């Protein structure tokens, strides 16, 4: 149901940018704390930030898949 295709590339790019802002600019990832990391460039910080971005996008993807499954009848009508 929630498969990714070649046409998903732009969507993935947009989601990645949104996750980056969510984590780095707004500081909304609990593991990193409510701190803006927009100008932080250390190797260890980058790895932690990338992992946080992966977690955010994974949670959002799973939530979106659940919404689609729950409301599939509405989508097809």
pLDDT for 58 beyond 90: yes
Looking at residue 25, which CATH number applies to its domain?
1.20.58.760
pLDDT at 9: 84
The residue-averaged pLDDT of 53-69 equals 92
pTM of the full structure: 0.74
Structural domains in the chain (count): 1
List, in order, residues 6 or more apart from 1 with CB less than 8 Å away: 65, 68, 69, 72
Host domain of residue 57: 6-76
Judge whether 1 lies within some domain.
no
Residue 1: pLDDT band by 50, 70, 90 thresholds?
low
Judge whether 10 lies within some domain.
yes
How distant, in Å, are the alpha carbons of 3, 33, 49, 58, 65 from that of 40? Answer: 34, 14, 10, 23, 33
The residue-averaged pLDDT of 44-54 equals 87
């Amino acid at each position: 149901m929630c498969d990714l295709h070649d046409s998903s590339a732009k969507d993935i790019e947009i989601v990645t940018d949104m996750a980056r802002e969510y984590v780095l600019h707004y500081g909304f990832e609990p593991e990193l704390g409510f701190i803006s990391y927009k100008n932080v460039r250390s190797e260890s910080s980058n790895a932690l930030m990338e992992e946080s971005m992966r977690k955010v996008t994974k949670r959002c993807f799973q939530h979106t898949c659940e919404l689609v499954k729950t409301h599939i009848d509405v989508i097809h009508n």
